[in-house]
Amino acid sequence: MKRKGECGIPKIKANQYKGLAQDNAIKANDRRREEVLMSPSLTLSLDRYGFVKEVKAHDERMTLNAASNLRNKHANELIADKSGSFFSRLKNDMKEPAFFLPEFRLYLKEETYRWFRGIVIKNGQNGYELICHDISKEKNDIEFLEDQQKVWSAVADQAPLSVILSQLAKAIERQIDGGVCSVFLYDEVKQQFQLGASPHLSYNFNRVTGFLLSTHHSEAMKAVQKK
């Protein structure tokens, strides 16, 4: 019986696997950098203090209204960062003329944000150019698959119905910018809706655990179910 090495299967050491993974990661980042430069959605010109002085929208999804809301705002206010000090961290980390940001959330107006990938470039006025490429759809697709897996896992684990419905409501909310979802179950015997899940609605709303249907609405519900 031949050993693995004698069957024509090359032996790859652990450090070779690590090297291949690093090479693939570098190539992937190179492709992402190129994508940002070739198809920018938005460019923000920041002064040396981190304030947005000019906004250029290259993509129709970046409306003029949203773009105008960014002007004169500070980068720390616009870019979601756990530390709350994105600009200070950027200046400390930026050792080269250009700095790559794999992904970040940019608030366009009020509580509305989109996901971007970006490159920061130093300009001649001691400021910075932040070139942004919109990756919101890519992020939403990934989040949808993750949320879908959570729902199916809850079903497979025979979790309580309230847990399953709560996961479903959260999944729907993540796909709708600023959306809040609730799920009601229809009881055919009692002819009323019962609250199934509402993970992010107010306490006063959750006090409503169900509501009755009038005869007219009950007949309408039956008609809908038959179609």
Q: Report the pLDDT averaged over residues 117-139.
A: 84
Chosen domain end from 134, 152, 178: 134
Instruction: Indicate whether 27 and 115 sit together in one domain.
Output: yes
Residue 1 placed within a domain: no
| Domain shared by 109 and 208, yes or no | no
Position 94 scores a pLDDT of 73
Which comes out higher in pLDDT, residue 3 or 37? 37
Q: Grade residue 51 by pLDDT with cuts at 50, 70 and 90.
A: very high
- For residues 91-102, average pLDDT: 76
Q: Which domain holds residue 214?
A: 140-226
Residue 57: per-residue pLDDT? 81
Lowest model confidence (mean pLDDT) among 20-29, 52-61, 71-80, 173-182? 20-29
Q: Does the residue 201 lie in any domain? A: yes
The more confident residue out of 24 and 48 is 48
11 falls within a domain: no
Tell whether the model's pLDDT for residue 65 goes beyond 70.
no
For residue 142, the model assigns a pLDDT of: 82
pLDDT for residue 212 is more than 80: no
Q: Report whether pLDDT(54) > 50.
A: yes
pTM over 0.75: no
Are 33 and 52 found together in one domain? yes
Alpha helices in the chain (DSSP H): 14-38, 64-68, 75-78, 86-93, 136-156, 161-175, 203-206, 215-226
- Say if residues 117 and 40 touch (Cβ distance below 8 Å): no
Task: Kindly state the percentage of the chain with pLDDT values over 90.
Answer: 0
Query: Span 179-207, mean pLDDT?
Result: 72
Range 205-212, long-range pairs (CB < 8 A, 24+ positions): 210/184
Same domain, 79 and 179: no
Residue with tokens 């932040």: 130
Q: At what angle do helices 136-156 and 161-175 cross, to 10 degrees?
A: 170
The pLDDT of 116-129, averaged and rounded, is 83
Q: What's the structural domain count of the chain? A: 2
pLDDT at residue 216 is higher than 60: no
Q: Using the predicted structure, report yes or no on whether residue 199 has a pLDDT greater than 70.
A: yes
Q: Is the pLDDT of residue 14 over 60?
A: no
What does the alpha-carbon distance between residue 214 and residue 227 come to, in Å, rounded to a whole number? 20
State the pLDDT at residue 22: 54
Distance (Å, rounded) from C-alpha 202 to C-alpha 85?
31
Q: What is the CATH number of the domain that holds 98?
A: 3.30.450.20
Please, what is the average pLDDT of the chain? Answer: 73
pLDDT band at 111 (very low <50, low <70, confident <90, very high): low
Token pair for residue 189?
Answer: 């015997």
